[in-house]
């Protein structure tokens, strides 16, 4: 195996792939990336047995072959070399040599046949979306995923594929985030898949807000995302996601409309004096007004008053201020609406102009 390549060209696929590789691995080969050369194309694959990512680029002076090399060391070497360097990579026996100018590095290797790769995916459904749409779906929901919850199916993101809509849903039991995008082609049947947390975070990192298309392939136990320069594959969580539609409040007819940025700023200021453990703020609604208050064990208090478009009177409800601010940060409209029922029911937060993204925040007893 051999190839010659410019530093900047090599750095891009290495940056994409190295994020998948865990620093501590049960199998030594998983600390390596698989490097394969075919014709004038060089491929790099990293895996942790849950998520696999393959990226590729064009190279010169190539000789076909494949081998695995230490992922982090190769990435750090390439990153540390000077801009514009031409890098020669060649294999001799069980060693790989990396040369650039007067720099020379020799790395240990492990055989390519020891590297575990995902078998060919049996595709049940395939959809194409713009890269910007996929990134938006993830960015506006992923923050609500649970982290190391015993309810393992909450430690991921639900993809709900139905007719002409793809929905992303995440919940940690205290809040829920939902965002949807329209599909150009109707799917064959409704499918629900749960992508694990690491897979979601890696896919977020890979995607840009470009106009190019991303192909999403759904299998029984894996999901795959394809772009021209990478192939991302993740195992799915084998579990049943809760009925999220039952969580979205119905009959929450007490509506409060106000500017999103003003509400975020007021919540941010009030949060400074909230209880550090529970992060609670109290929201009081009266006609034309919304008041936010917070206090802490040191007897310190904060109060913020906002003008709001509402006829609701004498309604008080407590929230975790971080959950409210996260929901507002994931919205895009100038004005938002809080849909309430009473002081003990969850709140629906959404843009006034659009129903594509919806966020549910459970009340907090103060």
Sequence spans of domains, the chain: 2-114, 125-245, 248-361
DSSP 22: -
Place of tokens 């995916």: 121
* Gap between the Cα atoms of 327 and 361, Å rounded: 8
* Gap between the Cα atoms of 283 and 318, Å rounded: 6
Query: Average pLDDT over the chain, rounded to whole?
Result: 95
pLDDT at 309: 97
Please tell me if the domain spanning 125-245 has the same topology as the one spanning 248-361.
Answer: yes
Place of tokens 């982090």: 72
Encoding tokens for residue 263?
């509400």
pLDDT band at 344 (very low <50, low <70, confident <90, very high): very high
75-92: pLDDT as tens digits: 999 999 999 999 999 999
100 and 83 in contact (C-beta within 8 Å)?
no
* Gap between the Cα atoms of 157 and 223, Å rounded: 12
Neighbours of 102 (CB within 10 A): 5
**What are the counts of helices (DSSP H) followed by strands (DSSP E) for the chain?**
6, 25
197-207: pLDDT as tens digits: 999 999 999 99
Fold of 248-361: DNA Polymerase III; Chain A, domain 2 (3.10.150)
138 and 71 in contact (C-beta within 8 Å)?
no
Question: Euclidean distance between the first and final Cα of the chain, in Å?
Answer: 65
pLDDT at 25: 80
pLDDT at 239: 93
* Gap between the Cα atoms of 30 and 253, Å rounded: 53
Q: Superfamily for 2-114?
A: DNA Polymerase III, subunit A, domain 2 (3.10.150.10)
Kindly report which listed range (63-67, 150-154, 174-178, 211-215) carries the lowest average pLDDT score.
211-215
Radius of gyration of the chain from its Cα atoms, rounded to whole angstroms: 25
Fold of 125-245: DNA Polymerase III; Chain A, domain 2 (3.10.150)
DSSP 244: G
* Gap between the Cα atoms of 352 and 366, Å rounded: 28
pLDDT at 53: 97
pLDDT band at 23 (very low <50, low <70, confident <90, very high): confident
43-59: pLDDT as tens digits: 999 999 999 999 999 99
Q: Tell whether the torsion through CA atoms of 182, 187, 192 and 198 is positive or negative.
A: negative
Selection from 118, 117, 109 nearest residue 32 by Cα: 109
pLDDT at 186: 79
Place of tokens 């109707």: 186
pLDDT band at 189 (very low <50, low <70, confident <90, very high): confident
pLDDT at 185: 80
Pairing of strands 315-320, 335-340: unpaired
CA atoms within 13 A on the CB side of 293: 11
Per-residue CA distances from 254 to 294, 316, 331 (Å): 23, 12, 20
Rounded percentage of the chain residues whose pLDDT exceeds 90: 90
Selection from 203, 209, 201 nearest residue 224 by Cα: 203
310 and 291 in contact (C-beta within 8 Å)?
no
pLDDT reading at 255 higher than 80: yes
pLDDT reading at 119 higher than 80: no
Per-residue CA distances from 5 to 40, 85, 86 (Å): 10, 9, 6
* Gap between the Cα atoms of 133 and 167, Å rounded: 11
φ/ψ region of 84 (left if φ > 0, alpha if ψ in -120 to 50, else beta) reads left
117 and 98 in contact (C-beta within 8 Å)?
no
pLDDT reading at 318 higher than 90: yes
Rounded percentage of the chain residues whose pLDDT exceeds 70: 100
The 3-state DSSP class for residue 68 equals strand
pLDDT at 90: 97
* Gap between the Cα atoms of 52 and 224, Å rounded: 9
Selection from 316, 312, 352 nearest residue 331 by Cα: 352
235 and 221 in contact (C-beta within 8 Å)?
yes
């Amino acid at each position: 195996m051999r190839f010659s390549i410019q530093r900047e060209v090599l750095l891009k696929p290495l940056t994409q792939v190295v994020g998948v590789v865990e620093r501590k691995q049960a199998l030594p080969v998983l600390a390596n990336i698989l490097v394969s050369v075919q014709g004038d194309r060089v491929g790099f694959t990293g895996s942790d047995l849950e998520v696999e990512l393959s990226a590729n680029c064009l190279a010169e002076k190539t000789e076909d072959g494949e081998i695995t090399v230490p992922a982090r060391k190769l990435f750090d070497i390439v990153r540390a070399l000077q801009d514009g360097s031409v890098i020669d990579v060649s294999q001799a026996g069980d060693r790989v040599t990396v040369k650039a100018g007067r720099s020379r590095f020799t790395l240990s290797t492990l055989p390519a046949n020891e590297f575990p790769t995902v078998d060919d995916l049996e595709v049940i459904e395939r959809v194409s979306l713009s890269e910007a749409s996929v990134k938006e779906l993830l960015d506006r929901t992923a923050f609500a995923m649970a982290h190391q919850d015993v309810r393992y199916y909450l430690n991921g993101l639900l993809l709900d594929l139905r007719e002409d809509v793809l929905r992303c849903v995440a919940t940690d039991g205290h809040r829920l985030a939902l965002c949807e995008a329209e599909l150009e082609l109707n799917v064959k049947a409704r499918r629900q898949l749960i992508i694990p947390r690491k897979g979601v975070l890696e896919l977020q990192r890979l995607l840009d807000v470009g106009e190019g298309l991303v192909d999403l392939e759904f299998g029984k136990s894996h999901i795959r995302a394809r772009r021209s320069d990478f192939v991302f594959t993740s195992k799915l969580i084998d579990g049943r996601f809760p009925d999220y539609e039952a969580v979205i409040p119905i009959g929450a007819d007490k509506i409060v409309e106000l500017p999103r940025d003003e509400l975020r700023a007021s919540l941010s200021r009030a949060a400074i004096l909230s209880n550090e453990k529970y992060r609670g703020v109290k929201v009081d609604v009266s006609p034309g007004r919304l008041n936010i208050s917070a206090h802490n064990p040191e007897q310190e208090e904060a109060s913020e008053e906002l003008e709001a478009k509402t006829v609701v009177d004498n309604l008080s409800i407590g929230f975790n201020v971080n959950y409210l601010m996260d929901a507002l940060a994931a919205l895009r409209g100038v004005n938002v609406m809080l849909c309430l029922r009473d002081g003990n029911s969850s709140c629906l937060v959404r843009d006034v102009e659009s129903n594509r993204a919806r966020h549910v925040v459970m009340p907090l007893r103060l």
